[in-house]
Amino acid sequence: MKIGIIGAGVAGLASAVRMASRGHEVHVFESNSYPGGKLSEFELQGYRFDAGPSLFTMPQYVDDLYRAAGENPAHHFEYERLPVVCHYFWEDGTNLLAYAEKGRFAEEVEDKLGVPPERLHLALADSQRKYELTGRIFLEKSLHRLDTWLNGRVLRAMLAIPGLDLFTNMNAVNRRHLKEPRLVQLFNRFATYNGSNPYKAPGLLSIIPHFEHHIGAFFPRGGMYNITKSIYDLAVRKGVTFHFNTPVQEIIVREGRAEALRLDEREEPFERIISNMDVFFTYRKLLPRERHPERTLRQQKSTSALIFYWGIRRQFPELGLHNIFFSEDYRTEFRHLEEGKLFDDPTVYINITQKCEPGDAPEGCENWFTMINAPYDSGQDWDSLIRQSRKQILDKLSRMLQVDIEPLIECEEVLEPRTIESKTASHLGALYGTSSNNRMAAFLRHPNFSSRIKGLYFCGGSVHPGGGIPLALLSAKIVDEVMQAES
């Protein structure tokens, strides 16, 4: 079977591997000159930066992809489990190391925040319980096929609904378990992993800490871009043909079936088509003659990001790979984001891959991926907002690290909602497609197939099961399973 894939983001690459591993002829069309989409890299004056996602969890999904292709993942892709997941900092001078090992994490929380260990263990156990009840169902299976709902595990999960916190929000769940405001804030942060607001997102999202503190956080050898590179190389070994600098103009539909892709002035026929393009643009740009799922396309968008890539002429031993400098008023920060604004005291995230890959920065230096959450693009004066935010971020970091940061910046690059949209075709620069700020969000995401157009499938962060590397990889697996069930 001849299969056309639109987009070489991580989900498109994973789909290509799975399709080729089944013996299909696979062609991938990518408008950029490189694979990876958001999961890309660049160099600046001797500093290497991962441009997009910086956190690697659930590595088993990459391993699973290799095994599906008949290869041993250990021969091609190496990663290490982080002993410390994240370094956290508050304005009152408190700093805390989130150890991967639960017992040590609990000791740190008791020492720094005065929280009895049993509270942390209770919260993590609740996270694990919810994941084991629902994760394999709602993340690894299509929610839009009858056979999913006829599964016995689904019935057990449905019976457990009263204990899944679907009818309350993450903040309420975390306050119930943890109580101490700074620890609640730390656990509320996990809502940002899919661009949501912890004061609105359903309490079921409290499963996210399970990914870091039971399964673990990891770092791939060579940096995050090595995820892209290794999967791309695997696809090439499986015989996938890549067409870079080749944007698709239209998906040709005849008699209710996707039959071809229009590339400039020519048509290329395919028996199946998989879109890794943002689902909004898939419909608006590539399916202009077809009926669009307006309710889905008009859902609230997730947050975006404002990122400063800084080459820093100094090393900071108190910082690790992942670092968070919290806002003093988290609720107001999220209210501003909901209103399409940037808060004047933002929570700042710094990723420094030099801590794990010394060659990512010149000797004695560090590569800072410095990010704040930002609203999606709704016509704000971004040039002014970027200038203001840069000053606020530098003031905050200089104050909390007790070092004047700006003179240490040797080089700088900026990524913001407008350029996120232009570089990755993410509608309005939203990083995760739609937000998860209501309890039905998982069911309102676009399915991994079209119910109206035969032979058309969808993968990537804008469709089920959601944004982020693990879920993008799972979307490709779901497409594969749905396609097999239909054949």
For residue range 308-343, list pLDDT tens digits in order. Answer: 999 999 999 999 999 999 999 999 999 999 999 999
Considering only residues 385 and 437, tell me which one the structure prediction assigns the higher pLDDT: 385
User: pLDDT per residue over 450-469, tens digit each?
Assistant: 989 999 999 999 999 988 99
CB 402, CB 319: distance < 8 Å? no
Instruction: Work out the average pLDDT over 189-215.
Output: 91
Averaged confidence pLDDT in the chain: 93
**Amino acid identity of 321?**
L
Q: What is the mean pLDDT of residues 395-402?
A: 98
Nearest to 25 by CA among 41, 40, 44, 5: 5
Please give the CATH topology (third level) of the domain spanning 2-39+225-296+437-486.
Answer: FAD/NAD(P)-binding domain (3.50.50)
Burial of 266 (0-12, 13-18, 19+ CB in 10 A): exposed
CA–CA distance, 123 with 476 (Å, rounded to integer) = 31
Whether 467 and 276 have beta carbons less than 8 Å apart is answered as no
Q: Are 392 and 80 in contact (CB under 8 A)?
A: no
What is the reported pLDDT for 445? Answer: 83
Long-range contacts of 127-132 (CB under 8 A, 24+ apart): 127/206, 127/207, 127/208, 127/209, 127/210, 127/213, 127/214, 128/210, 128/214, 130/164, 130/165, 130/204, 130/206, 130/207, 130/210, 131/207, 131/210, 131/211
pLDDT in tens, 266-293: 999 999 999 999 999 999 999 999 999 9
pLDDT the model gives residue 441: 57
Listed residue (67, 79, 58) closest to 17, CA to CA? 67
pLDDT of 442 above 60: no
Residue 247 is given by DSSP the state -
Residue 162 pLDDT? 67
Contacts of 412 (CB under 8 A, 6+ apart): 308, 309, 310, 311
For residue 93, CA distances in Å to 89, 247, 352, 468 come to 7, 50, 21, 32
More confident residue, 294 or 332: 332
